[in-house]
Amino acid sequence: MTIKLPKIIGHRGACGYAPENTLESINTAAEMGVEWVELDVKLTADNVPVIFHDDTLDRTTNGHGPMAQTLYEDLKQLEAGSWFSDGFTGIKIPTLEETIELLIELDLGLNLEIKPCPGREKETAEIALDLLSHYWDAHDRLLISSFEHVSLETALDMATDWNRGLLLPEEWPENWRDLAEYLDVTTININGNTVTREEVEQIIDLDKPVLAYTINDPQTARKLQGWGIDTMFTDVPDVLQDSLLTVH
């Protein structure tokens, strides 16, 4: 499986400058010259895949309660911008379908993180990937990642020829190597703010690209680049672009 990873991936679009996981955030990333974005997908109560991070609506919308108990019809009535700033008041939570159409139009690569509500690990992956398969042709510009092993296992069963990324939390599970092998992942995605050089070297020994989240500090970015990390997720793509492009 080939993959064309850029040095920088816009985290939830360019969420330092626009509300995360929205079409506006994706457009902002594209305007900054970002080649790929990372976005989170989860399901509404009636199984519509939408781009959203949290299990509950409260932090980034004017709604309340769990996403898993909210119908898409009700979700459409919510606004998802004013929490970020007044200039974004009234914008909506996008569906995965709307988002894919925009990404194709802007010619952006995608790291889609399967971010299921608890207990929906399998169906979130199934529904999201089924939809994606009808639209997305550029396999070298697509990475399906998740912290949830069941979601990655579903991706492996459904779309063997798509690249998968194993997301590791701050505390790595002892069997992370076995998981990476079993799930046949292309990349390992780690917390770049807490990782040690030794840990990075362990992944490099597996001959897999290392992706680090979420790096907003140029000094940290340069250090990680020096350690051999291939790609960094960032909220502020323009800040990292300036610091990383000078290194060859």
Contact 187, 211 (CB under 8 A): yes
H/E run at residue 109: strand 109-114
Q: Which among 128, 155, 143 is positioned nearest to 213, based on CA atoms?
A: 143
Which residues make Cβ contacts (< 8 Å) with residue 187, sequence separation at least 6?
3, 5, 143, 145, 163, 164, 165, 166, 208, 209, 210, 211, 231
CA distance 122 to 130: 12
Is 149 catalytic? The answer is no
Closest CA to 224 of 206, 245, 202, 200: 200
Residue from 53, 64, 134, 149 carrying the catalytic annotation: 53
Quickly tell me which residue has 């974004």 as its tokens.
Answer: 88
Catalytic residue (choose from 11, 134, 149, 248)? 11
Nearest Cα to Cα of residue 4 among 247, 202, 230, 228: 230
Say whether 139 is catalytic.
no
Q: If 0-12 CB within 10 Å is exposed, 13-18 middle and 19+ buried, where does residue 248 land?
A: exposed
Q: Determine contact, residues 126/133, Cβ cutoff 8 Å.
A: no
Beta bridge partners of 114: 41
Which residues touch 239 (CB under 8 Å, ≥6 apart)? Answer: 16, 216, 218
The residues assigned a catalytic role are: 11, 53
